[in-house]
């Protein structure tokens, strides 16, 4: 019995949620993101996409292309709420769900066919449940592997449903342009293009040694995928590798004390996301982008994992003073925590009392945010700042 892997991807998720919650936006071009000189498009409705607007585009360019677009600031809590409902629908049909992001997932429905019918019928039921209960549409593709399912779903949006049978894999992948190959970045696409490769089929029939020369050790794996060979399982409950927050400023910042206030705000956001999920991290990383677009980063490993604002901020602040020049303007600051683990601090016989106090403070902050919404509690240092 061949595997049946389903890839489900919500259609223009953030923008669709905005249109759902505000019926006046139905049928209008909607762009989600910050309406600012340095804002970036997080999502665009299909009405906006007809004007050439797409995610990761600068907001300035998006509004130049589509002046009548309605710009909606992101509402992460609302998107998370809808996402949880969608994922609960997935889990009715199979426990084997691997979330790729807030709005897409792989589902292994091989064993579910005894209860719910074949894979295509399961996909239809899932799409209908999302439509009935969430009032949104999703696109889905069924295939023998994750790679083929992901590739196929991207070609049938919005509200698509397609099945690629095992015997159809080669004929499906072969004619597709290299840009359609999931996992192949733009640099690799350009390099392969210069070498004469145009389609996924070209990679499948190429000499493996040529691909290794062009792409390094990844060349072998790329060719296997191009041939449709992908035995990777659906990984249930895959934990994130890190949590981070960053901000691009309206105006470049030089003053260290002002950068520190923004850094504190980002540390608060990361700490909340970690602690509400019962996670702690051992590595704090600071990222800066200067006015000349130069990127610099620094990281520090901790003796014990943390999940509180003060510890994250203290470490990030120390890193900031190491890599910020004091005279070079900064356009972006970001902080992230990785090396994640669950549970409390371990490995020491006596826990620093400051760690206990900080953990209690973080718990209070999280509870206030849960009851009354984010932003109801802040640090005095941040008052009066955007």
- What whole-number distance in Å separates Cα of residue 359 and Cα of residue 340? 16
Given pLDDT bands bounded at 50, 70 and 90, which one contains residue 182? confident
pLDDT value at position 208?
A: 92
Shared fold status for 1-173 and 174-226 = no
- pLDDT over threshold 60, residue 363: no
pLDDT at 289 over 50: yes
Distance (Å, rounded) from C-alpha 39 to C-alpha 292? 18
Max mean pLDDT range (34-38, 99-103, 223-227, 376-380): 223-227
Give the pLDDT confidence score for residue 19 in this predicted structure. Answer: 98
- 2-16, 17-31, 158-172, 216-230 — which is least confidently predicted? 216-230
State residue 294 phi and psi, 5-degree precision. Answer: -70, 135
Provide the pLDDT for residue 376.
Answer: 44
* Cβ atoms 176, 154 nearer than 8 A: no
Domain boundaries, the chain: 1-173, 174-226, 242-382
Pairwise pLDDT comparison (53 vs 352), residue with the higher score: 53
| pLDDT at site 273 | 83
Q: What is the pTM of this model?
A: 0.69
Catalytic residue among 47, 96, 98, 104: 104
Domain 1-173 has CATH 3.30.70.270: yes
pLDDT score, position 233: 92
Is 208 designated active site? no
What whole-number percentage of the chain has pLDDT above 70? Answer: 87
Are the C-beta atoms of 10 and 154 separated by less than 8 Å?
no
Q: Which long-range contacts (CB under 8 A, 24 or more apart) does 365-369 make?
A: 365/268, 365/272, 365/309, 366/272, 366/275, 366/276, 369/272
In tens, the pLDDT along 185-226 reads 788 899 999 999 999 999 999 999 999 999 888 889 999 999
CA distances in angstroms from 90 to 81, 208, 236, 241, listed in the order given: 15, 38, 12, 23
Angle CA(210)–CA(212)–CA(218) in degrees, nearest 5? Answer: 145
pLDDT of 315 over the 70 cut:
yes
Mean pLDDT of the chain: 86
Mean pLDDT of 135-157: 95
User: What mean pLDDT comes out for the span 318-343?
Assistant: 85
Grade residue 43 by pLDDT with cuts at 50, 70 and 90.
Answer: very high
Ranking 88-92, 230-234, 241-245 by mean pLDDT, the lowest is 241-245
Assess whether pLDDT exceeds 90 at residue 122. yes
Is the pLDDT reported for residue 178 higher than 90? yes
For tokens 């399961």, name the residue. Answer: 122
CA distance 124 to 109: 12
Q: Helix H segments across the chain?
A: 13-21, 46-49, 59-65, 76-93, 113-116, 119-129, 146-154, 169-173, 186-194, 200-204, 208-215, 218-226, 256-276, 309-323, 353-372
Strands 138-143 and 161-163, sheet pairing: parallel
pLDDT: which is higher, 1 or 163: 163
Q: What is the pLDDT of residues 247-272, one digit of tens each?
A: 888 889 998 989 999 999 999 999 98
- What tokens does 270 get? 């990361």
Helix orientation angle between 13-21 and 76-93, rounded to the nearest 10 degrees: 110
Q: Which residue has the tokens 């797409």?
A: 54
182 vs 188: CA distance, rounded Å: 12
Specify burial of residue 344 (Cβ count, 10 A radius: 0-12, 13-18, 19+). middle
* Interacting residues of 302 by C-beta distance below 8 A, sequence separation 6+: 281, 282, 283, 284, 311, 315
Of 37-41, 86-90, 105-109, which range is least confident? 37-41
Q: What is the CATH code of the structural domain delimited by 174-226?
A: 1.10.150.20
User: Could you confirm whether domain 242-382 is CATH 3.90.79.10?
Assistant: no
């Amino acid at each position: 019995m061949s595997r049946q892997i389903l890839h489900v991807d919500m259609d223009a998720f953030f923008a669709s949620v905005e249109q759902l919650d505000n019926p006046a936006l139905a049928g209008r071009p909607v762009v989600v993101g910050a309406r600012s000189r340095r804002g970036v498009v997080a999502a665009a409705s299909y009405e906006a996409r007809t004007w050439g607007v797409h995610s990761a585009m600068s907001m300035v360019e998006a509004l130049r292309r589509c002046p009548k677009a309605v710009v909606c600031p992101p509402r992460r809590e609302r998107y998370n709420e809808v996402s949880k409902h969608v994922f609960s629908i997935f889990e009715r049909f199979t426990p084997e769900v691997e979330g790729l992001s807030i709005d897409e997932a792989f589902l292994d429905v091989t064993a579910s066919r005894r209860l719910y019918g074949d894979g295509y019928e399961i996909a239809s039921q899932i799409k209908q449940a999302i439509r009935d209960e969430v009032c949104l549409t999703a696109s889905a593709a069924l295939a023998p592997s994750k790679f083929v399912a992901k590739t196929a779903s991207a070609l049938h949006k919005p509200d698509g449903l397609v099945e690629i049978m095992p015997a159809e894999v080669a004929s499906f992948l072969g004619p597709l342009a290299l840009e359609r190959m999931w996992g192949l970045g733009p640099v690799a696409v350009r390099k392969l293009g210069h070498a004469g490769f145009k389609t996924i089929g070209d990679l499948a029939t190429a000499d493996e040694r040529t691909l290794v020369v062009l792409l390094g050790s990844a060349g072998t794996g790329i060719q296997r995928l191009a041939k449709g060979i992908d035995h990777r399982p659906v990984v249930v409950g895959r934990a994130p590798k890190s949590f981070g927050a960053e901000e691009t400023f309206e105006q470049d910042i030089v003053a260290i004390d002002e950068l520190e206030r923004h850094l504190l705000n980002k540390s608060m956001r990361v700490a909340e996301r970690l602690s509400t999920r019962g996670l702690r991290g051992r590595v704090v990383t600071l990222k800066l982008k200067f006015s000349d677009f130069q990127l610099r980063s620094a990281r520090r490993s901790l003796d014990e994992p943390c999940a509180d604002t003060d510890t994250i901020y203290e470490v990030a602040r120390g890193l900031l003073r190491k890599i910020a020049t004091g005279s070079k303007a900064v356009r972006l600051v970001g902080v992230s925590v990785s090396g994640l683990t669950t549970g409390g601090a371990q490995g020491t016989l006596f826990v620093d009392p400051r760690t206990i106090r900080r953990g209690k403070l973080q718990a209070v902050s999280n509870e206030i945010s849960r009851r009354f919404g984010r932003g109801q509690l802040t640090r005095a240092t941040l008052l009066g700042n955007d």
